Amino acid sequence: MSIQDYSDPVLRGMPRGKIAIIPVGSLEQHGPHLPISTDSDIVTEVARIVAKRCDLLLLPTITYGNSFEHAPFFNLSITTGTLQRILVEICLSLSQNKIQKIIILNGHHGNQGAIKGIESRIHAKSGRRARVFAFSYWHFMKEEFDHAGFVETSLMLAISDKVKMKFARKGLISGDLTPRQRERVSKLAATHFIKATKNGVWGDPTKATKKDGERILSEITQNISKTVSKLAY
């Protein structure tokens, strides 16, 4: 259930061991066919489903992420240091309110720097009380992660009515590259996405379907739920 739906006495009476989940997204270009809130929308829905299934306390999504690599395409970004500080302070505040188990669920590649090593940092700053687990949702699916390609577009078709398939265009197809070329283009995309992909799309969204999105969403949420159920003990 969402934390916004609870009153103070209920929250202060939460059982020990209650786990909170904080989704973290971005606001950045996802080609001409997807909204800039795509990462935030997907990670919010994944967190909502997992929170319901595993009885977690769902926190509001942090919709601002680090997407400077998408310039000159549209992106509304905060730096890695700022994002990490926001996350650390929210987790410490949760800890002061006796919620000591916290999952940070990331939905954007460029946020990985902000969550790297954050578990031990928060653990130390909380007087070894808070236990934080930081995950990126795409590590819980078989399909290769993309950007506005088949996976993200299918997921959005499954959860949103904002997809404009008539504008969907094929972007960089990494399957055609040698491992060495792939590594080079991945590095380039991490700093200058436009140079790696030209149209801002990594993958091919043209064959995306709602059905595929539902299948991938169910795979991701089931796998995350399995991991979460182990954290509860």
Q: Return residues touching Zn ion (CB under 5 A).
A: 38-39
Minimal distance, residue 169 CB to Zn ion, in Å: 16
Backbone angles phi, psi at 90, to 5 degrees: -65, -45
- Which residues have C-beta within 8 Å of that of residue 220, sequence separation ≥ 6? 46, 137, 138, 140, 141
Which long-range contacts link 191-196 to residues 24+ away (Cβ below 8 Å)?
A: 191/69, 192/69, 193/69, 193/70, 193/73, 193/147, 194/70, 194/71, 194/72, 194/73, 196/172
Minimal distance, residue 66 CB to Zn ion, in Å: 13
Q: How far apart are CA 135 and CA 115, in angstroms?
A: 8
Question: Which residue's CB is nearer to Zn ion, number 89 or number 144?
Answer: 144
Q: Which two tokens stand for residue 158?
A: 């499954």
Minimal distance, residue 152 CB to Zn ion, in Å: 5
Question: Which residue's CB is nearer to Zn ion, number 133 or number 145?
Answer: 145
Question: Which residue's CB is nearer to Zn ion, number 66 or number 126?
Answer: 66
Question: Which residue's CB is nearer to Zn ion, number 84 or number 106?
Answer: 106
Name the residue with the smallest CB distance to Zn ion.
Answer: 39
Minimal distance, residue 147 CB to Zn ion, in Å: 5
CB atoms within 10 A of CB 34: 28
Residue identified by tokens 């969402």 is 2
Burial class (CB in 10 A: 0-12, 13-18, 19+), 16: exposed
Question: Which residue's CB is nearer to Zn ion, number 94 or number 151?
Answer: 151
Minimal distance, residue 167 CB to Zn ion, in Å: 16
- Which residues have C-beta within 8 Å of that of residue 221, sequence separation ≥ 6? 46, 49, 50, 53
Please give the DSSP secondary-structure letter assigned to residue 27: -
Minimal distance, residue 26 CB to Zn ion, in Å: 7
Q: Which of 113, 111, 91, 110 is nearest to 102 (CA)?
A: 91
Minimal distance, residue 34 CB to Zn ion, in Å: 8
Question: Which residue's CB is nearer to Zn ion, number 39 or number 45?
Answer: 39
Question: Which residue's CB is nearer to Zn ion, number 100 or number 106?
Answer: 106
Backbone angles phi, psi at 58, to 5 degrees: -85, 120
